[in-house]
Structure 1
Amino acid sequence: MTVKVVSGQLEFTNQNLANKLRKKGHELVTFLDDYTMLDIETTGLSPYRDRITELAGIKVRNGKVVAEYSQLVKYPKDNKVSRFITKLNGIDEALILANGMPVKEAITEFRNFIGEDVIVGYNVNFDLNFIYDLCEKFQLKKLSNDYIDVLHFSRVFFKKESHNRLLDCIQRLGISESEAHRGLKDSLDTKAVFDIYRNQFTTEMLNEVKDNLKSCVLTEEIPFEYLIKRNPFKNKTVVFAGTVNKEELALIVSNMGGQVREHVDSTIDYLVMGDKDFFSKSNSELQKARRLISEGIKISRLSESFFLDMLDSWARS
């Protein structure tokens, strides 16, 4: 098996593993006149555990906004929102119940709004994961559109800065003093940032953005500059158990600066199991992990699919 990171996208030649990855598009480094800028609000950071609360975007033609979309999203069973999120963006359960559109209808409308456009966003891989999964759930057209991540442009434009959140950039560029954390306003702010970059970026700066995108073979030695940036497995210990494809994935963890152990103990950071093993009562490593967790030891239990998603997110970060 060969595992490659090409232009920020993880690619497996092992078809079984490849089928467990989201089939998202490729990242582009360019300025376009026509695209859809999008931003979502959610109840948390994980598309596996959390929900979209708001879908929003703007359609751009010849550099001008020609259409807008903004919709709160309502679910059949659970519409609770944590106090932290409500304080951040003002969205709470009462607002969703009063103004939300049923999730299937909302994601269908939004997928049609995006169409075949190149997608632009800020740290856009986060948004893509949530939207991709909802499209899959309701059997809509796969979200395989190519995309542009404005965050990667910011890291070159403000290369001496350690933080380049959307808030940081709109303040530095005089666009706004605060980030709304509401989808439509944040989409418009991101477009304003992108427009400034369009006018001020040089060819050399664009090439630097391209050079910063990861490109390597994970089963071989990985360039040092990739390993030091947002690497989830550097200096972490991992155990693979059950039906997971251990040999190849263990090699990747080692190449990324992690350590692979045979058995679970109190020093382990991650236990990775086959998707069908996640709730197994016969998996001895899982039982040991559960016991240690009950004693207060922090061990993250991951399915193989979730583990691959972590790799893919790292490749696109």
Structure 2
Amino acid sequence: MNWAFLKNNSKEFPPFWESYLAQFSSENKQKLAKEYVVFDCETTGLSVKNDRILSIGAVKIIANRIEVGEVLNVFVHQEVFKPESVPIHGIIRDSQEDKIVEAEAIIRFLDFIKNSTIVGHNIWFDIEMINKALDRLELGKLKNDFIDTDAMYQKLKHLPDDEHYSLDELCDIYKIRKSDRHTACGDAYLTALLFLKLKKKLNLN
């Protein structure tokens, strides 16, 4: 792919960004109103400013069903490598996964989510990591509506805003088997299962 747009100082945006923005016209937004994309990012650390995305995993939920054939699972070439974080995400510098540059990963992510409502556990961090990557491409921020499963549980149990539960803890509470934990795609799938349980308990459409 030609990345010349990164050096373009004009107001012209690349086609993939124009296509993404077009999804938020009133006609297109209504089209995917009942579609959710649950996603997770594995990163080199917890600093939005200094760390980078290692992988992005996402699954789609349509009509309250996880679409097993609709999966995004991309690995990003590591500009920043922190050996101390490998035990958490399991991604090493010379791992065998096919890796793409960050810009290509963001393009695939935007094409996957379109205008769906995006869902995640402690989703603020993942959104900020995506927005930071978009900023490096000199583009805007994500436009999608979003839902945080941690906030859903707080609402269900009438918990204060400062009382949080990890994905592991909520999986234990709702007896969700924790397979493929600490991979972006695996965590996205677990979060999707959790989301559907919480959504039902909260009587959300």
TM-score normalised by length of structure 2: 0.73
Q: Secondary structure at the match of 1:59?
A: strand
Whether the 8 Å CA contact 2:118–2:146 is kept in 1: the answer is yes
Aligned match of 1:71 in 48, 68, 74? 74
Which aligned pairs between 1:223-234 and structure 2 lie closer than 5 A?
none
Q: How many residues align?
A: 168
1:33, distance to aligned residue in structure 2 (A) = 3.8
Which aligned pairs between 1:97-246 and structure 2 lie closer than 5 A?
98-140=97-139, 142-158=141-157, 163-177=164-178, 180-201=181-202
Which aligned pairs between 1:20-31 and structure 2 lie closer than 5 A?
none
- What is the root-mean-square deviation of aligned Cα atoms in Å? 2.4
Where do 5+ consecutive residues of structure 1 fail to align?
1-31, 204-317
> What whole-Å deviation, never above 9, does each CA across 1:87-106 have from its counterpart, x for those lacking one?
1121111127x521111111
Match of 1:61 in 2: 62
Amino acid at match of 1:112: D
Match of 1:92 in 2: 92
CA distance in 1, matches of 2:180, 2:167: 7
Whether the 8 Å CA contact 1:171–1:178 is kept in 2: the answer is no
Match of 1:35 in 2: 36
Amino acid at match of 2:200: N
Q: Rate the CA distance shift 1:176–1:158 in 2: closer, same or farther, 3 A.
A: farther
1:156, distance to aligned residue in structure 2 (A) = 3.4
Which runs of structure 1 show a deviation greater than 4 angstroms over 4 or more consecutive aligned residues? 158-163
Whether the 8 Å CA contact 1:38–1:121 is kept in 2: the answer is yes
Where do 5+ consecutive residues of structure 2 fail to align?
1-32
Larger Rg, first or second structure (1 or 2): 1
Match of 1:48 in 2: 49
Amino acid at match of 1:117: S
Q: Rate the CA distance shift 1:160–1:202 in 2: closer, same or farther, 3 A.
A: same
Q: Secondary structure at the match of 2:165?
A: coil
Identity of aligned residues (%): 26
Match of 2:21 in 1: none
Amino acid at match of 2:199: R
Q: Rate the CA distance shift 1:164–1:102 in 2: closer, same or farther, 3 A.
A: same
> What whole-Å deviation, never above 9, does each CA across 1:2-45 have from its counterpart, x for those lacking one?
xxxxxxxxxxxxxxxxxxxxxxxxxxxxxx84111111000111
1:50, distance to aligned residue in structure 2 (A) = 0.4
Q: Secondary structure at the match of 1:39?
A: strand
Whether the 8 Å CA contact 1:41–1:182 is kept in 2: the answer is yes
> What whole-Å deviation, never above 9, does each CA across 1:129-184 have from its counterpart, x for those lacking one?
01011122224563121111111112233557955111100011110257711111
Whether the 8 Å CA contact 1:38–1:57 is kept in 2: the answer is yes
Whether the 8 Å CA contact 1:56–1:183 is kept in 2: the answer is yes
CA distance in 1, matches of 2:199, 2:103: 36
Q: Rate the CA distance shift 1:153–1:179 in 2: closer, same or farther, 3 A.
A: farther
1:198, distance to aligned residue in structure 2 (A) = 2.0
